[in-house]
Structure 1
Amino acid sequence: MVKPIPHFRPSLALCAALALAGCATAIAPIEVTRFHIGNPATTGAVAVREMANNPDVGLEFRTYASAVGRELQRVGFTQSSDDGAEYVAYVSFRRAFRSPIDEGKRKPVSVGVGGAVGSGGYSGLGVGIGIDLSGPPKGMVTTELAVQMRRRADGVAIWEGRATTSAREGSPAAQPGLAAAKLASALLGGYPGESGRTITVK
């Protein structure tokens, strides 16, 4: 008698690991630029504050501010909410949506010779009438995180940097929570970094 093959049921831990792996691979490259003079401080109490004229405020800003605070602690600072902190890290972020370029030039139906299946979501039918099955194009979401560190005593900026990434609308990389953590990690990882150089972090 042939025994039935038991049904495979992946564990919750495995599912979670696969989900995290999927999120990790979905993150787009991040462009990072940093500036500083000499050897800026790497220890001391720092308070995280909103940068003046920050275009986006509210609950989403707190997500980015918290991510910056965590990364500052990783590189040696002590996060403090007290006004007597030695340094202040001013944080700003913005998210911009860019619609598909030349969207009006897309042709939902094309006529050609033959009935082959082509690239770009076109399915050949009969005598070469191709119907675009890819759906409406997705726009791009660009997220930028900027941080400036200043000495509280004299207000002099000792370090500043900017990290930018773009992701397809609706993708995991375009979600604020994931973008905040990745941008802060890329920006402050290897602090203080090489001044005046733009690098790509994947």
Structure 2
Amino acid sequence: MTKRTLTARRTLASRRTFAAFFPAAAALALSACVAPVGPVEVTRFHAPDITRLGRGTITVEPAQGQADSLEFRTYAGSVARELTKLGYTEVLPGQAPSAQVALLTLERQTFKPQRERGPVSVGVGGATGGYGSGVGLGLGFDLSGPPKDQIGTRMFVAIRERAAPATATALWEGRAEFVVRADSPLAQAPLGSAKMTEALFKGFPGRSGETIQVK
């Protein structure tokens, strides 16, 4: 039995479209046969002047409205590690405020993909002329069981000057998203956060406005 995986690709210009991710992610898994690990879709935007990126001090903080949960801290730790690889110095608690801040938004959702075809299919075959002519009826049963739960994860990072007004344009913005089966090791925060942040900052700062797939 052949099954298809429908893939929805989107290029998002800002975090205002953040909430639209998971309905689209569900469309990725309309088939009952979805690969347990898919590529990470990454989009980055940055100001024309990139000389201030990858240098100085920085702190990863929750964006406005983001809960400071244990899961969030796992992803924030992965972001901080990637930023230090790029040349930033992470400011520790008790030290002077950092010159720049990386505002992190994290959203995860579990959903069950819809089966593309029913569990039972009916086939009709006909033959004409000669011995044994007639019509045959065949039943096909899908024994693969119900579709596995999927987990969609999306993270958004905005690097800003701490002293800049809230209305100022960010120095750099990036978002990463991917969908995996719930039983995949990458569905867990420690491994999933490492994969997503590595993909998000690959080739930093990246080509502004370009969406790439990172395996």
Equivalent AA in structure 2 for residue 44 of structure 1: G
SS in 1 for 2:171: strand
Q: How does 1:8-157 map to 2 (within 5 A)?
A: 27-38=37-48, 39=50, 40-54=52-66, 56-81=67-92, 82-101=95-114, 103=115, 106-112=117-123, 128-155=138-165, 156=168, 157=170
Shift in Å, 1:58: 1.0
Question: Matched residues in 1 for 2:39 and 2:118: separation?
Answer: 31
Question: Matched residues in 1 for 2:199 and 2:118: separation?
Answer: 40
Give identity over the alignment, percent: 45
Equivalent AA in structure 2 for residue 201 of structure 1: V
Equivalent AA in structure 2 for residue 98 of structure 1: F
Equivalent AA in structure 2 for residue 49 of structure 1: E
Q: Cα 1:133–1:26, aligned 2, differ >3 Å: closer, same or farther?
A: closer
Shift in Å, 1:106: 5.0
Shift in Å, 1:113: 6.2
Shift in Å, 1:140: 2.4
RMSD: 2.3
Question: Matched residues in 1 for 2:145 and 2:70: separation?
Answer: 33
Q: Unmatched 5+ residue regions in structure 2? A: 1-34, 126-136
Q: Unmatched 5+ residue regions in structure 1? A: 1-24, 115-126
Question: Matched residues in 2 for 1:100 and 1:28: separation?
Answer: 15
Any idea what the Cα deviations from partners look like across 1:55-94, whole Å, max 9, x if unmatched?
Answer: x541100110000000000111011133521111111111
Query: Could you tell me whether the CA contact under 8 Å between 1:29 and 1:200 is conserved in 2?
Result: yes
Shift in Å, 1:128: 4.2
Query: TM-score, normalized by length of structure 1?
Result: 0.72
Question: Matched residues in 1 for 2:97 and 2:68: separation?
Answer: 24
Equivalent AA in structure 1 for residue 179 of structure 2: S
Question: Matched residues in 1 for 2:62 and 2:96: separation?
Answer: 14
Question: Matched residues in 2 for 1:107 and 1:145: separation?
Answer: 34
Question: Matched residues in 2 for 1:111 and 1:34: separation?
Answer: 48
**Aligned position for 1:8:** none
Shift in Å, 1:112: 4.1
**Aligned position for 1:161:** 174
Equivalent AA in structure 2 for residue 58 of structure 1: S
Equivalent AA in structure 2 for residue 30 of structure 1: V
Shift in Å, 1:95: 0.7
SS in 2 for 1:182: helix
Deviating beyond 3 angstroms after TM superposition, the runs of 4 or more aligned structure 1 residues are 105-114, 127-131
